[in-house]
Amino acid sequence: MQDWLTMTACDLGRGIGMGQIDPVELTETFLSAIDAHPHRDAIFARVTHDRARAEAQAAQGRVKSGLRRSLLDGVPISWKDLFDTAGIGTEAGSALLKDRVPDADALVLRNATAMGTVCLGKTHMSELAFSGLGLNPTTATPPCIHDETAIPGGSSSGAAASVAWGLSACGIGSDTGGSVRIPAAWNDLVGLKTTSGRLSLEGVVPLCLRFDTVGPLAKSVEDAAHMLAVLEGGTPADLRGASLQGCRFADLQNVAKDDLRAEPGKAYAEALEKLKDAGAEIIPLEVPELTEAMGLSGVLYTTEAYGLWRDVIEANPEAMYPEILERFRAGKAFSGPDYVAAWSKLKACRSVWDAATAEFDAVLAPTAPILPPNLDRLMNDHDYYVTENLLALRNTRIGNLMGLAALTLPTGTPSCGLMMMGYPGSEEALLRLGSAAESALA
């Protein structure tokens, strides 16, 4: 049974379908592992024992009746603490939302439940999802799988930790500037950033609605594909026969490689060689307009975030972690015309990007230019916090600003990910590429 904690979600689902794994026993195994884990309270904000057991029993009944709803029917997963759960606290990592209990599940959670997944509980996160580090002195900071003195990446920090430490088969997070991909990369997981608008944000605590997306942190590309399907009640991408033979990838040169530190740089270069060996053609690409787009981040993100949260924040600002409060209040500096002008410029940059990348199957970049920073130093060195937070999200934010679907894969070097950026709405094609790349990197 202990092996169940390390199996992929799809392998668990296949075991259930073949009658080799009982969903109730599987769920009890995960619940026991969570409750016995030394980092339980640093990873899970709340463990939903009663709900998990009821859903597992229902899955068990469907197995016996031959009425399973999906491959993941009966598989236990975790949910970031910004997805509403009926009758269960949802506080988005902030004391501003302390004791907030929604009346209904988020739509993506309702979809996943309807497809048979089992909700294990809610995982910790960066406060209101506004940091790529995963550091949260207000609630809890989960540990990185490779270094317990380092932060795990955020804002879906607990989602990543729950999977990496074997406490859930898959974690569901959100990605506004990299919040699925950074913790996935730093904990050697697959992370899928979906195209804005593909998955519903109904019942999801917002940060920036025009950039917020929902996505899985998983042990394999196959898991990510099936998780995407259950989140929207659809059909998973067909990954059979996926190959890199004849694929053309762009190796993004500007922005993505600025201040690239030695270890992520080396891991990225080695990963590209493996993709070439598998038959891919990789061509250097520069998109100068991307630099202009990155410069728009401040006005686009902070203006919307502060606009959404201003009244709540200013009613009780002392409840917030000062570093996060400062990020929100940066939105005060911009006017309505600033925000509208920035969006107009971004749309022009997106058109240039689309034209520059049209001939490629995907654009490649290191997922993060840095390794997970030290927790104690982040707490005591403001300049270090600002530098590392901005660098952590720098590469992933390209995908959000350009409106893309994006995938991060483990390279085999701890905490170093390879990011593949596809076209808006190209998740299925991107997952096929990711499946082939996953095999090459392995």
Active site amino acids: 80, 155, 179
Calpha distance 96→100 (Å, rounded) = 9
Q: What are phi and psi of 338, to 5 degrees?
A: -60, -45
Question: Checking DSSP bridges between strand 44-47 and strand 118-123, what pairing results, if any?
Answer: antiparallel
**Assigned token pair, 99:** 């004791």
How far apart, in Å, are the Cα atoms of 333 and each of 296, 306, 330?
A: 13, 10, 6
The 3-state secondary structure of the chain reads: CHHHHCCCHHHHHHHHHCCCCCHHHHHHHHHHHHHHCCCHHHHEEEECHHHHHHHHHHHHHHHHHCCCCCCCCCCEEEEECCECECCECCCCCCHHHCCCCCCCCCHHHHHHHHCCCEEEEEECCCHHHCCCCCCCCCCCCCCCCCCCCECCCCCCHHHHHHHHCCCCCCEEEECCCCCCHHHHHHCCCEEEECCCCCCCCCCECCCCCCCCCEEEEECCHHHHHHHHHHHHCCCCCCCCCCCCCCCEEEEECCCCCCCCCHHHHHHHHHHHHHHHHCCCEEEEECCCHHHHHHHCHHHHHHHHHHHHHHHHHHHCHHHCCHHHHHHHHHHHHCCHHHHHHHHHHHHHHHHHHHHHHCCCCEEEEECCCCCCCEHHHHHHCHHHHHHHHHHHHHHHHHHHHCCCCEEEEECCCCCCEEEEECCCCCHHHHHHHHHHHHHHHC
* Paired residues of 88 in beta bridges: 85
**Assigned token pair, 282:** 């990789």
